[in-house]
Structure 1
């Protein structure tokens, strides 16, 4: 295989296209967004992903990567077509409309010998029960004329290039020959491949993210309980994790991103008659509650200072859903900011990675964000926020109050500089 088409040039598809190109494949990136296509063709990276910008420019300059809006023609020119389009969940059910559009384009360009790979997260059974019959409407047959597999993406924003090259990948064909063809393609990029069937591969992807969501929900539940008990959940979890068979995640202001916020619902929707799937849905509800709980802590902190939310200046540090990236998809900060604005607060958002402010004022610097603030709220665990100059901030704020949604500030350090410290899982305010 020498030529690969990647359909969907978002946070998954663009790094995938660039990595294939860096391995010597002739890659055609496809997207309906003309601006993305133009950016790729001019060698401009529109995703804040470490290392991606340089690899993209090199791939384009050497002629290994180009982009187009014409998926059908791209597929006709390629040996493999990789689908990396969104599969959002609406009403608890996966929306496969983007996937259908991609498959229909592939069907129109389908030819003998083509390998079709779905990287998008999909419900188990989709590759065999949805993609296969749709593609076979072309008159060609899977395993005889073309090949079909599911290779679920495993990309963490901020580590995409490394993980595409080095982290294990699950490779599942609809049948044995399809699995072999997919292994042949991906072995040129990554040596850590685990073959299976397509439906198992689909299930594995949902299991991975649902496990993580359940673990975080458990940590958040412990945080809520610790607040009632008057103890520090972070300390309790740290001590519990000294047990050799315990590994609890840490609580926080909420769970964001494109995967953990939807994949558990996709898994739970498979068999709603299974009473046990309520566990998955309950975990989601706990994690969805945490931004609202963060606002309640903010209200309590302001109340202790003799203030109310309406009219208060609140500096929100972080708009991205996780530290070190510019990705704001489903960010807890969005929900925190929205509720504070609805309650009449003056909200100023600062994030060194993104200009998103969710309708609030946007500060160009940390200093402008915190100046005359009544409370400083940390929602994202950016590295920069883990090294805050609390002494300097103390001189700028109106009231020395910090609400830490990610435990990026050590409470006793905050106290040292005269701050009252509130946080997720803190059973009491830490006061100077």
Structure 2
């Protein structure tokens, strides 16, 4: 049995605090108790300390805030090497940057190296779970899952399905896409903390037959996700209308092939109208809000409050590599700026919900992660409120939790993440593990990748 307690300020959400303010739970001097990788208690230090055995080790992090690990609802691991690519809209960006880069993932050694770097970047930025695009190559997803399994990450990913309107070497066929997807599901879904998502890139690059095949696989595996893009860019929407002239709108394209349901996650939806958003809500589908990439590619301003008013679950996402950072703190700041431009300023409590519990709900892992309720897996972060001189100056004397969170979202980055824990084990430490050396069980998870 492994029992350990962590003392710091604590914060998590039990629901959307923009709807239920009492769902934001904060303890200025709190205690998080972890046993065998699970949370057993979360509350005020003075109340909980007396309930623990006298020899329970307690690590104190003064000046720090413990939160759930961040959950990225949409990200591309093969696109790490095209981050900060200059000057293109979506379709041109795919052709000139993404597709050439993804060609290299046919090579397993390259995929292994990229996966190791990608996951280490997630952990360094406090992202403990993510919904991840691979490339069209089966090897890319095998590399990703193997690296995630070694780190004990709760991660969901999938091989891209793409059988048209892409370069040679980046397209599969309906049958090969089916065979590879089914093989990956058999080998990896449910192994460790891994899950699978059927992953057609978007309607432009999948034929009707391939979309139908994707829907068939999703119907045959009730516990996998469906992950794709929708209504990101006006040129893309026009192209989809040309390719599917009989469809009522972009969402109808996916609905015709059984790809719209409670386990569907649609990235972007920048230009989805109220009717489409309400249909998504009725189906129980989720939207991944990608503020950084929408700005980088000039795609438009997602109306978060409108989506929420339509009842659709919305989660935050980095969308690396069009997105400019792995940091979900930075994504909260970008989401705030997008809101300012559209008259929908993002409340910082809501921002943290979008990056934690809302993401867990989109990925259907909210029974395991997303907050730090007793019984959940102990994926958590220790955030340093004085990680930089400017942060130290700005957070000093701040009495409001909302103001502290807002400062972190605007001024914070990976330097704020002092420690990242996965299932109670230290997976990343900004300055090494010397401060935690008293417990020999706490060592960084190493990977063969």
Larger Rg belongs to: 1
- Where relative contact order (Cα < 8 A, 6+ residues apart) is larger, the structure is 2
Q: Which has the higher strand share?
A: 2
Common fold: TM-score over 0.5: no
The alignment's TM-score, normalised by the length of structure 1, stands at: 0.28
